[in-house]
Structure 1
Amino acid sequence: MALIHPRSLERWQEWRGSRRRARGIHRARPSESAPGYVLHLREGEGSARILLGIDTADGAAHGGLPAVLPYVHGSAVVVTPAGLALDELEGPEWQHRRIARPSDALDELGITSVLTLGWHLEVGRSLHEWARERDVPGAVVQHDVLTPFAPPLPPDTTVLSWTAEDGEFHRAGRDDIAVRVVGSQRLWQARHEAAGEAPVLEEQPVFLGQFSSIELPRRVSLRAAESYCRFAGALYQPGPAETERLARAAHLLLRRRGIGFQDPSITVAEQARPLASVFSADILEAAMRGIPAWVHAPGAPSWVGEHWERYGMRRVGAEPTPPPGLGTDEPARLIAQILEGGA
């Protein structure tokens, strides 16, 4: 199993464009009556000036980009689309400036390293291109489990991976990528939030839907959901992006076949039931929180089984997925130290 496009962002974008459109990529878009981006600046001590590019609140929350900011001792610069609100960028210590392009005004700031979720989104691409032209070290933080359909990394980049295996998977076929293993901020937070008594769960499980996933054929997602819900008497929880016509038609089919539904807004942290899904970081987070979790996908492509093996996800019928191993230090702290050392 390897990335389908390990080097070419353009070819990856062509592939993505050939699939059904994924919804909800950008939660906020620039206003037509205002500049399209905002540069946020917080002055600090020391010579390091760290630049973070944050394209989307969803990816930032899971990737842990805002969580890095409290550990940056030097100055912090953040570029976001206009209208993207993050609590971590509020307060009197922050200065805010509207800019027309993501890379505007960066030359005057003395940036020493750059961190993004990748260059497949607009801010990330602009910042990595700017950094490479000026020989500023750049890094990408892993923010989700990896499949063969993940976007390629920018050239000459350090990937801050969850595990050594993820790092090697992401840089396979590349000689310009360095790997630093930092762990998952999302899973680290889940472990610390769940410390204490085991959760009290209801008996009826729930299947987390993935009709909106562009990696999987819809027939695989639908077959997995229906077969598990029938086998286990489970509820179906639609994914947050399952709002377009074909997804609604699949929901109607499941309801007609007697399958009950759970509120799609319920997060893993709020779950009160055992979980199953085709593949998802939710399975790992659930395991970290003490929630029994499995994977299920009859007839899935071979890469899905390889994906399960790499993350230790357990199939339905086996023991629940065990909690992933984590280091003792918070990933956000490690990331800040790497960035202030020049990535």
Structure 2
Amino acid sequence: MGLNHPSDLAAWHRWQQSRHRLRQLRHSVRRPSGAATEKLVLTTYDVEPRLLVALDSSSPTSHASLVEPLTHLGVPLALLTPGPPPALPGRQPLATEEVSSQLPAALRGLRAVVSLGSYLPRGEAADAWAKELRIDSFVVQHGALTPHAPPLPRDARLLTWSDADATFWRSGRADVEHEVVGSQLLWHAAGRPPTDAPDTRLTYLGQMHAAELSRRRLVLAAASFCRQHDATYRPHPSERDKLSRLTHDGYRRLGITVDGSVPLAQLGGPVVSVFSTGVLEAAAQGRDAWVDFPRPPAWLGEFWERYGMHRSGGTPTPPPPRPASEPARRIAALLTEAVS
């Protein structure tokens, strides 16, 4: 099993858009005609950057995958972001400006770019510039992979969690090279002992906005499990829209506790979810963790198997293997080698 769209990014975008038609309609009504929807903000930290880092997201997984390695890098650097860049310890920007999709003159000396992929605007621009300059385009894996993941850029150098994930993501393509570096997110979890929080109640990690499964099935699965096992429902941080809030109210009327006040890393008890990486984080931390979903499709069963996730009712998910070297340091070493 592999990606639904192994190499056709346009087809992947069409699928994604088909899953978010209502959201797109709402945005098209609110956004003035002709208004800019995306920005490419270039920040240089050296006169002639050799490495460009494309940051399309400020999420914890993006930060762990792309920003943390920069603390171990000493090479001339530039960032491409949708807005003001994140603070980088020990580095001060030389210049910050909005740029077009044309290769900026300041980046003519680049020797490599790195991103989460070319499916979002900053990663797309960085990969296009890499091809124009004929330099390496690195992609860092930042989350667990389903068949609905976007395809990798052509001729990418993939920095992945495992050989199994690399094989899955390439899906038979011969143009993609890979190095196994592990997950910085899980590295942190493994080094963080379980909290002494007194509440050890089972927590269900919500994924109401997961595009891979119908919202109705996800909502019903969470409600059924929480009622059957007296579990607390923890909303995903993205569950802030009106429909999600109405669903949470419905859960409360069913007697389900809905509580998102405690950060995932600070939960003290066992967790269960459909396919959240939070299951792997909890297992890495030494806590009990399971997955659960009624009548799972074939791809979901394969996903659970690839990541060693155990179903509810059986033994807990074992801690994922921890690499000998910290992933951020390994990523930094590979990027340094590429631009030297």
TM-score relative to the length of structure 2: 0.88
Q: What is residue 64 of structure 1 aligned with on the other side? A: 65
Contact 1:63 1:141 in 2 (8 A): no
Match for residue 192 of structure 1?
191
Residue number in structure 2 paired with 1:289: 285
Q: How does 1:171-186 map to 2 (within 5 A)?
A: 171-186=170-185
CA distance in 1, matches of 2:69, 2:101: 20
Quick check: 1:248 aligned with 2:251? no
Asked whether the equivalents of residues 45 and 91 of structure 2 are also in contact (C-alpha less than 8 Å), the reply is no
2:54 aligned partner, one-letter code: G
> 2:336 corresponds to which residue?
340
Which residue identity lines up with residue 41 of structure 1 in the other structure? T
Distance between the aligned counterparts of 1:91 and 1:182, measured in 2? Answer: 25
Paired letter, 2:50: R
Whether 1:39 and 2:38 are equivalent positions in the alignment is no
Contact 1:62 1:186 in 2 (8 A): no
Partners of 1:96 and 1:105 in 2: how far apart?
Answer: 13
In structure 1, the residue corresponding to 2:293 is in which secondary structure? coil
Are residue 326 (structure 1) and residue 314 (structure 2) matched? no
Equivalent in the alignment of 2:74 = 73
Q: CA RMSD in A?
A: 2.5
Shift of 1:290: 1.9
Match of 2:157 in 1: 158
Mapped contact 1:208–1:237 kept (Cα < 8 A): yes
What corresponds to 2:29 in structure 1?
none
Residues paired across the two proteins, number = 327
Q: 5+ unaligned residues in a row in structure 1: which ranges?
A: 24-31
Output aligned runs, 1:40-189, within 5 Å: 40-43=43-46, 49-58=50-59, 61=62, 63-83=64-84, 85-88=85-88, 93-101=92-100, 104-106=103-105, 108-189=107-188
SS in structure 1 opposite 2:126? Answer: helix
Q: CA deviation at 1:202?
A: 2.5
User: For residue 259 of structure 1, what is the aligned residue in structure 2?
Assistant: 256
Q: What SS does the corresponding residue of 1:78 show, helix, strand or coil?
A: strand
In the alignment, which residue of structure 1 is the partner of 2:304? 308
Question: Is 1:236 matched with 2:233?
Answer: yes
Bigger CA drift: 14-23 or 207-216? 14-23
Amino acid at match of 1:40: T
| Alignment deviations for residues 81-133 of structure 1 (CA, whole Å, 9 cap, x no partner) | 124x4232x66633232122265425654111110011111000011011112
Structure 1 residue 60, shift from structure 2 partner: 5.4
* Structure 1 residue 222 corresponds to structure 2 residue 219: yes
Q: Which secondary structure state, in structure 2, belongs to the residue aligned with residue 57 of structure 1? A: coil
The 1:247/1:92 distance shift into structure 2, 3 A limit, reads closer
Shift of 1:260: 1.2
Q: Deviations over 1:277-303 (max 9, x none)?
A: 101111111111122111110122221
Single out whichever of 163-172 and 314-323 deviates more from structure 2.
314-323
Q: Distance in 2 between matches of 1:244 and 1:296?
A: 25
> Whole-Å Cα distance in 1 between the matches of residues 201 and 166 of structure 2?
37
SS of residue in 1 equivalent to 2:95: strand
SS at match of 2:122: helix
Q: TM-score, normalised by structure 1?
A: 0.88
Contact 1:117 1:141 (C-alpha < 8 Å) held by counterparts: yes
**Counterpart in the other structure of 2:16:** 16
Question: Deviations 1:292-336 (Å, cap 9, x if unpaired)?
Answer: 111110122221111011001111111211110011111111112
Structure 1 pair 152–72 and aligned structure 2 pair: CA distance change class (3 A): same
- The equivalent of 1:26 in structure 2 is none
- CA shift digits 1:39-72 (9 cap, x unpaired): 222349xx98211100110165454211111221
Equivalent-residue separation in structure 1 for 2:171 and 2:238 (angstroms):
31
Query: What secondary structure sits across from 2:250 in the alignment?
Result: helix
Contact 1:69 1:76 in 2 (8 A): no
Counterparts of 1:122 and 1:181 in 2: how far apart (Å)? 26
Counterpart secondary structure, 1:38: strand
**Contact 1:60–1:117 (8 Å) recurs in 2:** no
Q: Deviations over 1:203-225 (max 9, x none)?
A: 32111111111111123212321
Identity %: 38
Q: What is the rounded CA distance, in whole Å, between the counterparts of 2:86 and 2:242 in structure 1?
A: 31
Q: How many angstroms apart in 2 are the aligned matches of 1:103 and 1:189?
A: 38
Provide the rounded CA distance (Å) in 2 between the counterparts of 1:54 and 1:97: 14
Deviation at 1:258, TM superposition (A): 1.4
Change (3 A) 1:21 1:320: farther
Q: 1:318 to 1:106 in 2, by over 3 A?
A: farther
Q: How far apart are 1:22 and its partner, in Å? A: 9.8
Runs of 4+ in 1 over 4 A off after TM superposition: 106-109, 197-201
Deviation at 1:244, TM superposition (A): 2.7
